[in-house]
């Protein structure tokens, strides 16, 4: 019996945009996937040889990198944060656009000459590298959410977080001070699976063709 493929998809902001693209590539979840009351993490698809797992975005990268899933969709921010050697991101899906930015309280004292800053973020690796390029040591306070209230509560003077419209920053009295990277969703694959399973390579080509068609439209 042929081993099933496992395709990892993220909960949250990317998912709604990803589903139509996945469907065009032949990756269609069972009806129960769309039931808001369904708390399952694993779902069948219309393909007998594929199942979906729906997990947190950071976990998508981990499952694929370690071979527990062969393919997945995740934001380029997650790829950059983990930098897994076994992870390959061959296709930019041109969805899930936002950017990663540094923000601080409006009217904050200028610390341009500071050599050390405390920053609240879900992205400690990206954050450290960003500030290192400016000769600044960043002490990162790892948070998984509610980043915007960290400066007000004295936890950190700055935050590094995803920004889409900027509304959440403004509502919490913060202003963007620098843009670290633009982000879009990518198809990711396990490198070993790509080399050994022709079904993985075929799916990469299907997603690539869809991406190229969207770009040309």
Q: Is the pLDDT of residue 113 over 80?
A: no
Q: Is the pLDDT of residue 196 over 80?
A: yes
Distance, CA of 41 to CA of 148 (rounded, Å)? 29
Q: What pLDDT score was predicted for residue 135?
A: 93
Q: What pLDDT score was predicted for residue 215?
A: 82
Q: What pLDDT score was predicted for residue 1?
A: 38
Q: Is the pLDDT of residue 131 over 50?
A: yes
Among residues of the chain, what percentage have pLDDT more than 90?
87
Exposure string (b/e) for 42-75, b if CB count within 10 Å is 16 or more? ebebeeeebbbbbbebbbbbbbbbeeebbbbbbb
Q: Is the pLDDT of residue 161 over 90?
A: yes
- Mean pLDDT in residue range 148-170: 94
Q: What pLDDT score was predicted for residue 217?
A: 74
Confidence of residue 110 (pLDDT cuts 50, 70, 90): low
Confidence of residue 22 (pLDDT cuts 50, 70, 90): very high
Confidence of residue 109 (pLDDT cuts 50, 70, 90): low
């Amino acid at each position: 019996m042929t081993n099933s493929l496992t395709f990892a998809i993220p909960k949250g902001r990317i998912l709604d945009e990803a589903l139509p693209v996945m469907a065009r590539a032949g990756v269609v979840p069972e009806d129960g996937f769309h039931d808001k009351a369904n708390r399952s993490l694993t779902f069948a698809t219309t393909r007998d040889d594929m199942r979906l797992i729906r997990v947190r975005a950071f976990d998508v990268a981990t499952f694929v990198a370690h071979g527990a899933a062969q393919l997945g969709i995740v934001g380029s921010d997650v790829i950059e944060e983990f930098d897994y050697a076994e992870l390959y991101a061959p296709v930019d899906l041109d969805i899930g656009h936002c950017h990663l930015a540094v923000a601080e309280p409006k009217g904050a004292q200028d610390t341009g000459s500071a050599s050390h800053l405390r920053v609240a973020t879900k992205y400690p690796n990206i954050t450290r590298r960003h500030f290192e390029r400016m000769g600044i040591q960043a002490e990162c306070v790892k948070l998984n959410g509610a980043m915007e209230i960290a400066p007000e509560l004295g936890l950190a003077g700055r935050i590094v977080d995803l920004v889409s419209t900027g509304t959440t920053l403004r509502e919490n009295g913060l202003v963007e001070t620098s843009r670290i990277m633009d982000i879009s969703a990518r198809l990711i694959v396990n490198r070993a699976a790509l080399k050994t399973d022709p079904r993985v390579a075929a799916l990469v080509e299907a997603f690539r063709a869809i991406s190229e068609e969207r770009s040309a439209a």
